[in-house]
Structure formats: C-alpha cells, structure tokens
Structure 1
C-alpha cells in the first residue's frame, strides 16, 4: 500500500462515487479503480460494494477507513510538528458559532492578534455543533466554540462556560399578553438554540404562527428589533444595543446552556493554538 492510497479510499468513501473522487483528486477514473482493486487483492478483502449509481463500504471497508483516518491524522500531526517554529506563526483556524461571534470573543481575538502578529487568523462560522465537530475531525479547523450539548468523544475541552438563554423581543413597555400568535426567528436545524425554541413551544403548548429561518446573527437581530419575530438566545447577542430589546425569563429547565472551546483529542497542538487557549482561559471570557 502507498500513502496516496489512503487519500483515494477516504475520498471514494466520502463521495460514494469513484468518478467524483477521481475528479476531486485530479486522477483518471481508471487509475482510481485500479488502485482500489490492487488494495483489495493485496489484503484479500472487498472494500466496496459496487452499484450502478455508486459504491458503498463493506464491513472490511469501514475498518480500513478507520485505520486510514488514524494514519492520515498522524501524518497531519507529524507535518505540523516538524514545521512548527516554536513561536506562534502561520494560520490559526477557529470555528465559531454566531452567538460567540457577537460577544467579547472579538476583543480577545484582537488582543491575540496584537500580541502574535505573525499568526494569520481564519474564522469559520457555523450554527451547528455537528458541522464544527466534523471540520475539526477533517483538519479544516484547529478548534471551535460550540454551544449547547455536544458529543465530546474525540474532542478535548479546553474552555467551558455556563450561560443562560432568554426570550428576546423588540423593546416593549408592557409584556405581551400571549405568545400564541408570535413568530419566531431561528437558525437552521442543528442549532442548539433552535432546539430549545422548538422544545419550549411544544411543552408550553404554543403554536408559532411562523418560523423564520436565517443564517446570520445580523439578520436574526434585525427580525427581532423590527418586531417581526421573537427569538430565544443568550442575552450576550444584544450587548451592543441592549436598550432596543426586551428580555423575558424562561422556565428553569430551558434556561441553562454551555459554550465550550474544543479541539481534536490526542492531536498535535501548534504554538499558535496553545497560546490562544492560554489567553482564552486567562481572560475567562463570557459570552
């Protein structure tokens, strides 16, 4: 087996199509097919079941992918370790949920950039913990802020804080008499605050007149500030203009949530990431 075979198997397994994998790898399709067959002959196993519309891993193929993923991760760690100069430099890629992007995190980020100007910071926004977890596993990002409960297997928690969520509306002198006809603005499915909203509406027996789905915090706050909809979010998201909004408490069972900063467990930690984590814990930021 050659090391390049690992990329071939992983790409085919992810795409489910040899033609698509060949295109992504810039290989001839016949070359990809030949390399797979050669591996299957070498190990005397069938890695993929072939179908007219694509391929699916066999049980042995799934085992191969598990080993191949570990080998790929070790090679990535090796490359980072060998090229790390010891002082923070290069690129630091951080995944961040929209709620963190609107908080004091930006102040910490600015301080980090001033202290370590040789580091190029790249922010990857997402609303789903599942998406950020996948990006960590695939080495797309070095670490991520994740809100709400998440599966921590394979992840190392470097920072954790407790937060509270509330119902937020445009500024009102008198609380609404009923929430039965209220519209709600939420992020796409996978967002923990959307899950809280849906659970709250169900348990309270409320039927939202309309669910408005947005993908950015700016759009969400615009909907709320204009009176188009209510939302359920941490109060930190309105810290720039608190007087423009009204905040209402939720029942205890809905109130508490957690924001964590995580990275891949047992992964190489670059100098840039190490200093970032230390600054994060030193400042003990709250969102």
Structure 2
C-alpha cells in the first residue's frame, strides 16, 4: 500500500462515487478503480459494494477508512510539528458558538492578536455542537467553544465556563405570567439553547404561538429588542445593552449551562493554539 492509496480510499469514502473521487484527486477514473482493486487483492477483503449510482463501504471498508483517516491525521500532525517555528505564527482556526461570539470573548481575542501579530485568526461560527465537533475531527479547525452538553469522546477539554440562562424579553414588555401568548426566537435545530426552550415550554405545558428561527445572534437580539419574541439565552449575550431588556429567571433545572473550549484529543498542539489556551485560562473569562 502507498500513501496515495490512503487519499484514494478517503476520497471514495467521502463522495460515494469513484468518478467524483478521481476528479477531486485529479486522477483518471480507471486508475482509482485499479488502485482499489489492488488493495482488495492485497488484503483479501472487499472494501466497497458497487452499485449503478455509486459505491458503499463494506464493514471492512469502513474499518479501512477509519484507519486511513487516522494515518492521514497523524501525517498532518507530523507535518505541522516539523514546520512549527516554536513561536505563535501561522493560522489559528477557532470554532465558536454565536453566544460566545457576542460576549467578552472578543476582548481576549483582541489581546491575543495584539500579543501575537504573526498569527492569522480565523473564526468559524456555528450554533450546533455537533457541527463544531465534526469540524475538529475533520481537522478543519484547531479547537472550538461548545455550549451545552456534548459528547466529549475524542476531545480534550482545555477550559470550562459555567453560565446561567434566563428568559430574555424587551424591557417592560409582556409579563412572564403571559408566556403562552408570546412568540419565541431560537437558533436552528442542534442549538442547546433551543433544546432548553423546547423542554421549558413542554414542562410548563405551553405552546409557543410562533417559533421564529434565525441563524445569527444579531437577528435573534433584534427580534427580542423589538418585542417580537422572547428568547432563552445566557445573560452574557445582552451585555452590550442590558438596559433595553428584561431578564426573567427559570426553574433551577433549566438554569445552569456550560461552555467548554475543546480540541482534538491526542492531537498535535501548535504554538499558536498552546498560547491561546494559556491566555484563556489566565484571563478566566466568563461568558
């Protein structure tokens, strides 16, 4: 087996089509087919089931793809380690939930950039912990802030922050006794705060008049500030203009939440990421 075979298997596994994998790798389709057959003969297993519309990994094929991904990731770490100059530089890609992006996190990010100007910071926004976890595992980002409960297998927690969530409305708007009459603004499915909202409404026997789904914190806060809807979020999201909102407490079981900064477990840590984690822990920022 050659290292290029690793890329072929991963490309075919991702796309489910030999033709698409060949195009991605700039190989002839016949070459990709031949290389797969050679691997199958070498290991005496069938890696893919062939169908008119594409290919599907067999059980052994899925195992092969998993090993191939580990090998490719190790090679990536080796390359990064050898090229690391020992001082923060290059690109630092951080995944961040909307709630953290709107908070005092930006203050520490600014301090980091001033301290380490050779680092180019790239922020990847998401509302779903599952999306951020996948991006870490796919080596698309170096680490991420994840809100709420998340599967931590394969991840290393570098920092953990406790926060509380509350019902947030426009100041002096509909009192909390009339929650059955209001609309709620939420992020798309997968957002932990949407899950809290849905559990709260179910627990209270309430049916939201209208569930407004938005994808950015700016739009969410605009809905609340204008009086269109209520939301359930950490109070940190309104720290810039707290005077325009009213905050209502939730029952104890809905109140507490956690935001963690995680990276890939057993993954190479660049100088840029290492210093970012150290600064984060030094500042002990609460979102």
Shorter-normalised TM range: over 0.9
Please state how far the C-alpha of 1:73 moved relative to its aligned partner.
1.1
Please state how far the C-alpha of 1:284 moved relative to its aligned partner.
0.2
Q: Runs of 5+ in structure 2 lacking a partner?
A: none
1:206-254, Cα deviation, whole Å (9 max, x unpaired): 1111111111100110111111111110000000000111110111111
1:95 match? 95
> Deviating runs (4+, > 3 A) in structure 1?
none
Partners of 2:7 and 2:183 in 1: CA distance: 47
2:197 match? 197
**SS at structure 2 position matched to 1:179:** helix
Partners of 1:185 and 1:28 in 2: CA distance: 50
Please state how far the C-alpha of 1:31 moved relative to its aligned partner.
2.1
Please state how far the C-alpha of 1:38 moved relative to its aligned partner.
1.4
Partners of 1:9 and 1:173 in 2: CA distance: 58
Q: Runs of 5+ in structure 1 lacking a partner?
A: none
Please state how far the C-alpha of 1:5 moved relative to its aligned partner.
1.2
Please state how far the C-alpha of 1:10 moved relative to its aligned partner.
1.2
Partners of 1:156 and 1:234 in 2: CA distance: 24
Q: Report the TM-score when normalising by structure 1.
A: 0.97
**SS at structure 2 position matched to 1:285:** coil
2:167 match? 167
The CA RMSD over aligned residues, in Å, is: 1.1
Partners of 1:173 and 1:69 in 2: CA distance: 53
Please state how far the C-alpha of 1:176 moved relative to its aligned partner.
4.0
Partners of 1:47 and 1:246 in 2: CA distance: 59
Partners of 1:23 and 1:214 in 2: CA distance: 36
Q: Report the TM-score when normalising by structure 2.
A: 0.97
The answer to whether residue 186 in structure 2 is matched with residue 211 in structure 1 is no
The answer to whether residue 113 in structure 2 is matched with residue 113 in structure 1 is yes
Distance 1:134 1:173, change over 3 A: closer
